[in-house]
Structure 1
Amino acid sequence: MRYFLLLLSALILASPADARTLYYGGRAGMEVTIVKKSGIGTSHASVLTKHTRQNAIGFCRDYVGKVTEDCIAKELKTPLHLEIIADCKSGKFTTFYGANMLFQGRSPAGGATDYLITDTDENVVLDGSGASGYDYTLDQFKALCPNRVK
């Protein structure tokens, strides 16, 4: 029972709202480290991150399969917006790639995804595929507005 409670508490702490890192992309190790959170769940939610050497090592190890100084340097040059923001009431938010998104709540029954998220820059609904970035985009929104996603 004690092991189960420890495992459960670890899983709860790993939720996007409580995470220490957030994925910025769909490949293994594409993570940034959370530095500061403010206004979570409000109309002025913000998560400030940094792209650390440890994040880059994780990417090189887990995705590339080899940790080299060249791989680390290249990964650290990935152009990212290190702060994501949201208006949790309207559902408008930004991603680490600087895209403007709109969280529109639950998908209709039988939809390809649990939630509707629209890339308002491209006027495209994320379809749930890896190419659309649905999973990590939803996790970014969850980190900003955890009460909007169950």
Structure 2
Amino acid sequence: MRIAATIGVLLLIGTAAHAETLYYGSRAGMEVTVVSKSNIGSTHAKIGTKHTKANATAFCREYVGKVTPKCVADELKVELLPEISANCQTGKFITLNGQGYQFLGANPQYDPTGGGTEYLLTDAGGGDPLDGTSASGYDVALDQFRALCPNRARK
């Protein structure tokens, strides 16, 4: 009985230490923990997340540079959706910040030596593609889309 309990604790520790995360912002440590996945790569792809104390602590340590109870509490107050979703066929998806985007595919003008973005992403309502800067949210949005629709936007 003790051996089974010990193995169970070790499995939980190993799982927690290697939990999958997703970035919700461009700053170091702006991550949430993935708690569920369903229909990945389909017209109803979903990933459930939780913003944990460990995530908030990592943000305070890695970005703020100091872990304090106030920093952790403030970080846990960041409003995020508990789930992201996508229609991998149409490329429409919703991020953790509640922003709607559309993945339009490979950028025909992409130059791996520094010209443009590899893929085209626009706001769900249309408009110009995101320019690839951290201010545009391109990397964070693309990573969330890749998690939902890995066959559409390969790394």
Which band: TM-score by shorter chain?
A: 0.7 to 0.9
Query: 4+ residue stretches of structure 1 with deviation over 4 A?
Result: none
Given that 2:120 and 2:130 are in contact with CA atoms closer than 8 Å, whether structure 1 keeps it comes out as yes
CA deviation string 1:67-101 (max 9, x = no partner): 00000000000011120000000000000110110
Q: Which has the higher contact order (CA 8 A, sep 6+)?
A: 1
User: Where does structure 2 lack aligned partners over 5 or more consecutive residues?
Assistant: 1-18
Q: Which has the larger radius of gyration?
A: 2
Q: May I ask how many residue pairs the two structures share in their alignment?
A: 132
Distance 1:82 1:101, change over 3 A: same
Question: Sequence identity, in percent?
Answer: 58
Note the C-alpha offset of 1:108: 1.7
CA deviation string 1:7-56 (max 9, x = no partner): xxxxxxxxxxxx70000000000000000000000000000000000000
Distance 1:35 1:104, change over 3 A: same
> Structure 1-normalised TM-score?
0.84
CA deviation string 1:110-135 (max 9, x = no partner): 45100000012473421100100111
> Structure 2-normalised TM-score?
0.82
2:125 is the counterpart of 1:117: no
2:135 is the counterpart of 1:131: yes
SS in structure 2 opposite 1:125?
Answer: coil
Given that 1:99 and 1:121 are in contact with CA atoms closer than 8 Å, whether structure 2 keeps it comes out as no
Q: Which moved more, 1:102-111 or 1:63-72?
A: 102-111
